[in-house]
């Protein structure tokens, strides 16, 4: 295992604070060839922690996904309406990520989760520029009757809920019609763990 790289923060300046925050750091870090780097500056997008929840129905081998408008996707040349797993921001650091995921499933997809979601993966979405860490949960759901429009009006959410079979969802990922990073991670994680999940959940 690689040793932790020593980092010396020389200064930090918040250059923008709004819904998100942008900080300017001056730092030095250890070099592979030995010694320390000269001072350098880096701008870091302080995104905080986010959660996503993979809503999987093992009986029907189906997933509950959402579609919603994303301005950054539009600006980057991707479709403005993105197919995604349910996700949200942990705005209160005292709140457990699992509780946030359950609430987001109710608000975005109209699903009340009765079982306990489990943490499937934790990862960074853009470690070169953002502090965002993503908690990916997985929950067993019953997808019968799920669908419609959801979201909170005060947050300008306009979310369409859709149910897709596992193979249909994977086809969207493999053909490039899903471009959302956490959703791709969730689908590829499910592809690797689907057989195990179905064995465990369908025996109950």
Ordered DSSP codes for 44-101 = EEE--EEEEEEEEETTTTEEEEEEEE-HHHHHTTS-SEEEE-EEEE--STTS-HHHHH
- Of 104, 108, 155, 157, which one is the catalytic site residue? 155
Q: Which residues are CB-contacts of 195 (< 8 A; sequence separation ≥ 6)?
A: none
Contact 143, 57 (CB under 8 A): yes
Note if 95 is an active site residue: no
Give the pair of three-digit tokens for residue 126.
């853009």
- Please identify every residue annotated as catalytic: 155
């Amino acid at each position: 295992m690689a040793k932790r790289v020593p980092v010396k923060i020389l200064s930090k300046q918040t250059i923008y604070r709004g819904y998100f925050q942008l900080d300017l750091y001056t730092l030095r870090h250890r070099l592979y060839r030995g010694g320390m780097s000269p001072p350098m500056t880096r701008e870091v997008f302080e995104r905080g922690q986010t959660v996503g929840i993979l809503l999987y129905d093992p009986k029907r081998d189906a997933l509950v996904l959402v579609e919603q408008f994303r301005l950054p996707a539009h600006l980057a040349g991707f479709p403005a309406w993105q197919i995604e797993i349910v996700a949200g921001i942990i705005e209160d650091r005292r709140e457990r990520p699992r509780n946030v995921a359950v609430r987001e499933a109710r608000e975005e997809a109209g699903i009340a989760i009765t079982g306990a979601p489990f943490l499937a993966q934790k990862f960074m979405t853009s470690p070169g520029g953002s502090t965002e860490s993503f908690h990916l949960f997985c929950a067993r759901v019953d997808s019968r009757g799920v669908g419609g429009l959801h979201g909170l009006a005060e947050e300008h959410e306009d979310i369409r809920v859709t149910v897709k079979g596992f193979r249909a969802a994977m086809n969207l990922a493999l053909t490039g019609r899903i471009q959302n990073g956490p959703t791709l991670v969730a689908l590829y994680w499910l592809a690797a763990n689907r057989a195990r999940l179905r064995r465990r959940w369908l025996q109950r």
